[in-house]
Structure 1
Amino acid sequence: MRFERSHTRKAVALAVVSSLVLLTAACGGGDDGGSGNNGSGGALEGRGPIKFATGKDTSGNLKNQVDAWNTQHPDEKVEVAELPESADQQRNQMISNAQIKSTEFSVLNLDVVWTAEFAANRWITELPQDQFPDLGKLLPTTVDTAKYRDKLYAVPVTSDGGLLYYRKDLLDKAGVEVPKTWPEMVAACAKVKALPEGKAINCYAGQFEKYEGLTVNFSEAVNGAGGVVVGDDGKPNVDTPEALAGLTALVEGFKTGFIPKAAITYQEEPGRRAFQDGNLLFHRNWPYVYALANKTDGSSKIAGKFAVAALPGLSGPGVSTLGGHNYAISEFATNKATAADFIKFMSSEERQKANVEKTSQAPTWASLYDDPALNKQFPYLAPLKASIASAKSRPKVVKYGDVTTAIQEAAYGALKQPAEKDPKQTLTDLQTKLSSLITQ
């Protein structure tokens, strides 16, 4: 995994992090970029065209959303800077721009777990909370992802919870119920594969390539077995029986073929395409897949044949890793007033509803999960709301890039065949590594 390193050498890392935290707490960010740091009580200044840096739009709806803004604001148009599909590459590019204090990007579309890192390094601007009055109408867990040390640095625009997509037609044909646990899912696949229609189908896949998605899938395996990656005390806790049970389930999945060999290369999109092409019985992915897999334009072979359920755990209900994206203002941007208004526009109830209708991406407005028309179109919204409410966040740490890299390398080494280490040694070594990276 190729992460840009934003920290100095280990010998002075603690001192640097401490300085950053003190500076952030004292003034909320730097005064580079000409518009001034705006803190919790300052004004966001400067109007004019801005550039919005975001990952590749796989939904196909971002242009419609931005066009709606540009039509209403001809003198403050937004240009989309579409970054790569990989979350890791998006993060790297944003960090590279921030490290040279580039004014190119105005608004950043951040993975929810990047907020602490970007805020602590003063790459994004602290936002005046009184200028974003709708925050109280959003799901509380999503708002929490936009804060660092109780100060607002971003606004949640989409959320995400992991879902289990499954071939309802094949489960019905085999006479099996939707599995609620990992063993039930294994047993269900065996029954489906005994059918002529299911003989060639692969059982299950998530995201197991060595990138951010693997951190998510590893975390869900650990949480679904009753463990935690980082405890409430902020300390790593992966060298436990629960974490071992979760990782072992994934390792055995690859060894037995329950998870196909090809899945070690899957990010979100390759897995989605495998499911849509009819090659997977069960697939863990995000809500955005629903609209794409249900298209009737010939791009999906399973439209009308699948359904969605909560993630299974090892012996009970699973636990999703909290996903989603927050919009933040680059500390080095000009035209920050326009940037703030664009964020308010994109995070509004109207725009989020329009986006859900077109993409099935999870909104952050609580009211949209109870909207009758949306629930008719997307019947998974009610359980998704509960999933997001109980979801666990990835580690909120300043050195997130180093932490997620360590998790990815450890998990990937255990999952690939032949494995580099057995699950027990993998977790023992990971505990040591995380303990050196996560300091209080």
Structure 2
Amino acid sequence: MVSSLVLLTAACGGDEGGGGSNGAAGGALEGRGPIKFATGKDTSGNLTNQVKAWNSQHPDEQVTVTELPESADQQRAQMISNAQIKSDEFSVLNLDVVWTAEFAANRWITQLPEDQFPDLGKLLPTTVDTAKYRDKLYAVPVTSDGGLLYYRKDLLDKAGVEVPKTWPEMVAACAKVKALPEGKAINCYAGQFEKYEGLTVNFSEAVNGAGGVVVGDDGKPNVDTPEALAGLTALVEGFKTGFIPKAAITYQEEPGRRAFQEGNLLFHRNWPYVYALANKTDGSSKIAGKFAVAPLPGLSGPGVSTLGGHNYAISEFAKNKATAADFIKFMSSEERQKANVEKTSQAPTWASLYDDPALNKQFPYLAPLKASIASAKSRPKVVKYGDVTTAIQEAAYGALKQPGGTDPKQALTDLQTKLNTLITQ
């Protein structure tokens, strides 16, 4: 989706974020009754079941789901629009992990008392970190995400090639598969390259997988480097040579998933939720039982995933915050997360679920996914995240758009300059 949708004026907020009258700074979360849950489009089809489980147990505290668009940028835009007018329309917000700092700094979500969420210590530490701003809790991680490489195992086996661990190995593997009669028409690789949040993720993974960074551990931009250039150039050359099909410049998660399920891609970078959908035997997937999952390849070694996932937060302007807090505890519980994994293959935040024997049998990628999440890199945790991600998308998309794309070196030089104006310490 075009990035103009996320160019919104930030509401004024203090550097410390907002405790609010019902937040941790002001005492217990108060108010009980019906609430509304704002979330992105439920592509899994299981959210209704999860909410029904709550509603059946809480007849006087019913949860109504407000389903926002499929595009992450549009979801964020609608949530911010409601916050800027201090609307109580949304009670609980399903936030992309990288939005938490921005929403907390602008006092759009309520600071949560950690003692009311005793299970935080049982979650993957990297996921809990995404739910905090200035060491204070503002959300609870309910799903995590790490990028995975989906590949056609049947075709790689037929061609006699190993699962690639690097980008050049992936290019060579595709050439061998395309030499087969059954692989002649297949496209090699696609991720998410439309100008939206998914491009920030894919660009970051390309840079990190080449040994570079977008923003360093010191919080300063450092994207005009040889390593970052090597990562971006690999993507640009992918489009130029046809290794990445032209259509992929329009791909968000769902169009890419559908292309993979229809048998049009040999390799596909996407999130864990794809596994259950691509393995359906109801006729919706042409590759059920024919694919497998591996860690992302890097330029010359193992790749680095961008940390994804979603946190549930309470709108600062919501009524019935006590109900909202209990709903978040319910949805983030081990029981509900396990039920969700079983139905959707979405990555949980409970560490124990990655070692569950039954789940590992059903989803053999859980062990490598746990390692992927543990070593994943976060996107910049900055207050002006909307402007930062827009700048990244503009730079990356300009270089990838072929023919006539921006020179990769110039794109990174310009991006460095832009990020320096947006990220201040």
Q: Please state which band the TM-score falls in when normalised by the shorter chain.
A: over 0.9
Shift, 1:25, TM fit: 18
- Residues 319-367 of structure 1: CA deviation (Å, up to 9, x unaligned): 0000000000000000000000000000000000000000000000000
Answer yes or no: is the 8 Å Cα contact 1:33–1:334 preserved in 2: no
Which residue of structure 2 lines up, in the alignment, with residue 155 of structure 1? Answer: 140
Shift, 1:216, TM fit: 0.1
SS in 2 for 1:313: coil
Shift, 1:420, TM fit: 3.5
- Residues 302-329 of structure 1: CA deviation (Å, up to 9, x unaligned): 0000000000000000000000000000
Q: 2:127 aligns with which of 126, 131, 142?
A: 142
Which residue of structure 2 lines up, in the alignment, with residue 411 of structure 1? Answer: 396
Shift, 1:250, TM fit: 0.1
Shift, 1:42, TM fit: 1.6
Answer yes or no: is the 8 Å Cα contact 1:38–1:128 preserved in 2: no
CA separation of 1:349 and 1:267: change in aligned 2, threshold 3 A: same
- Residues 171-198 of structure 1: CA deviation (Å, up to 9, x unaligned): 0000000000000000000000000000
Answer yes or no: is the 8 Å Cα contact 2:38–2:92 preserved in 1: yes
Which residue of structure 2 lines up, in the alignment, with residue 310 of structure 1? Answer: 295
Provide the C-alpha distance between the structure 2 equivalents of 1:329 and 1:385, rounded to a whole number of angstroms: 27
Answer yes or no: is the 8 Å Cα contact 2:190–2:268 preserved in 1: yes
Answer yes or no: is the 8 Å Cα contact 2:16–2:105 preserved in 1: no
Provide the C-alpha distance between the structure 1 equivalents of 2:8 and 2:136, rounded to a whole number of angstroms: 13
SS in 2 for 1:303: coil
Provide the C-alpha distance between the structure 2 equivalents of 1:151 and 1:21, rounded to a whole number of angstroms: 26
Provide the C-alpha distance between the structure 2 equivalents of 1:281 and 1:141, rounded to a whole number of angstroms: 31
CA separation of 1:17 and 1:305: change in aligned 2, threshold 3 A: closer
- Residues 81-136 of structure 1: CA deviation (Å, up to 9, x unaligned): 00000000000000000000000000000000000100000000000000000000
SS in 2 for 1:393: coil
Q: 1:256 aligns with which of 241, 245, 250?
A: 241
Q: 1:323 aligns with which of 308, 322, 342?
A: 308
Which residue of structure 2 lines up, in the alignment, with residue 96 of structure 1? Answer: 81
Provide the C-alpha distance between the structure 2 equivalents of 1:349 and 1:30, rounded to a whole number of angstroms: 35
TM-score normalized with structure 1 length: 0.92
SS in 2 for 1:189: helix
CA separation of 1:150 and 1:261: change in aligned 2, threshold 3 A: same
Q: 2:367 aligns with which of 382, 385, 388?
A: 382
CA separation of 1:174 and 1:18: change in aligned 2, threshold 3 A: closer
CA separation of 1:336 and 1:32: change in aligned 2, threshold 3 A: farther
Answer yes or no: is the 8 Å Cα contact 1:33–1:331 preserved in 2: no
Provide the C-alpha distance between the structure 1 equivalents of 2:331 and 2:247, rounded to a whole number of angstroms: 37
CA separation of 1:32 and 1:69: change in aligned 2, threshold 3 A: farther
Which residue of structure 2 lines up, in the alignment, with residue 235 of structure 1? Answer: 220
SS in 1 for 2:9: helix
Shift, 1:418, TM fit: 2.0
Answer yes or no: is the 8 Å Cα contact 1:107–1:339 preserved in 2: yes
- Residues 48-103 of structure 1: CA deviation (Å, up to 9, x unaligned): 00000000000000000000000000000000000000000000000000000000
Shift, 1:140, TM fit: 0.1
Answer yes or no: is the 8 Å Cα contact 1:122–1:331 preserved in 2: yes
Provide the C-alpha distance between the structure 2 equivalents of 1:330 and 1:19, rounded to a whole number of angstroms: 24
Answer yes or no: is the 8 Å Cα contact 2:165–2:297 preserved in 1: yes
Answer yes or no: is the 8 Å Cα contact 2:249–2:401 preserved in 1: yes
Answer yes or no: is the 8 Å Cα contact 2:17–2:106 preserved in 1: no
Provide the C-alpha distance between the structure 2 equivalents of 1:362 and 1:187, rounded to a whole number of angstroms: 30
Answer yes or no: is the 8 Å Cα contact 2:167–2:298 preserved in 1: yes
Q: 2:30 aligns with which of 27, 41, 45?
A: 45
CA separation of 1:32 and 1:189: change in aligned 2, threshold 3 A: closer
Answer yes or no: is the 8 Å Cα contact 1:21–1:120 preserved in 2: no
Answer yes or no: is the 8 Å Cα contact 2:2–2:196 preserved in 1: no
Shift, 1:22, TM fit: 24
SS in 1 for 2:89: coil
Answer yes or no: is the 8 Å Cα contact 2:236–2:400 preserved in 1: yes
Shift, 1:386, TM fit: 0.2
- Residues 157-212 of structure 1: CA deviation (Å, up to 9, x unaligned): 00000000000000000000000000000000000000000000000000000000
TM-score normalized with structure 2 length: 0.95
Q: 2:177 aligns with which of 192, 201, 216?
A: 192
Which residue of structure 1 lines up, in the alignment, with residue 209 of structure 2? Answer: 224
Shift, 1:31, TM fit: 16
Unaligned runs of 5+ in 1: 1-15
Provide the C-alpha distance between the structure 2 equivalents of 1:129 and 1:175, rounded to a whole number of angstroms: 53
Provide the C-alpha distance between the structure 2 equivalents of 1:19 and 1:378, rounded to a whole number of angstroms: 38
Answer yes or no: is the 8 Å Cα contact 1:208–1:264 preserved in 2: yes
- Residues 241-279 of structure 1: CA deviation (Å, up to 9, x unaligned): 000000000000000000000000000000000000000
SS in 1 for 2:151: strand
Answer yes or no: is the 8 Å Cα contact 1:30–1:37 preserved in 2: no
CA separation of 1:383 and 1:401: change in aligned 2, threshold 3 A: same
Shift, 1:38, TM fit: 3.5
- My pick for the range that moved more, 36-45 or 106-115, is 36-45
- My pick for the range that moved more, 18-27 or 420-429, is 18-27
Shift, 1:406, TM fit: 0.2
CA separation of 1:389 and 1:24: change in aligned 2, threshold 3 A: farther
Q: Which of structure 1's runs of 4+ aligned residues deviate more than 3 A? A: 16-27, 29-36, 38-41
CA separation of 1:218 and 1:273: change in aligned 2, threshold 3 A: same
- Residues 19-38 of structure 1: CA deviation (Å, up to 9, x unaligned): 999999999x8999999523
Which residue of structure 1 lines up, in the alignment, with residue 14 of structure 2? Answer: 30
CA separation of 1:248 and 1:327: change in aligned 2, threshold 3 A: same
Answer yes or no: is the 8 Å Cα contact 1:35–1:334 preserved in 2: no
Answer yes or no: is the 8 Å Cα contact 1:37–1:126 preserved in 2: no
Which residue of structure 1 lines up, in the alignment, with residue 408 of structure 2? Answer: 423
Provide the C-alpha distance between the structure 2 equivalents of 1:25 and 1:261, rounded to a whole number of angstroms: 35
Provide the C-alpha distance between the structure 1 equivalents of 2:31 and 2:168, rounded to a whole number of angstroms: 57
CA separation of 1:431 and 1:19: change in aligned 2, threshold 3 A: closer
Answer yes or no: is the 8 Å Cα contact 1:165–1:282 preserved in 2: yes
Provide the C-alpha distance between the structure 2 equivalents of 1:211 and 1:20, rounded to a whole number of angstroms: 10
Provide the C-alpha distance between the structure 1 equivalents of 2:261 and 2:308, rounded to a whole number of angstroms: 22
Provide the C-alpha distance between the structure 2 equivalents of 1:81 and 1:22, rounded to a whole number of angstroms: 23
Answer yes or no: is the 8 Å Cα contact 2:306–2:376 preserved in 1: yes
How many residue pairs end up in the alignment? 424
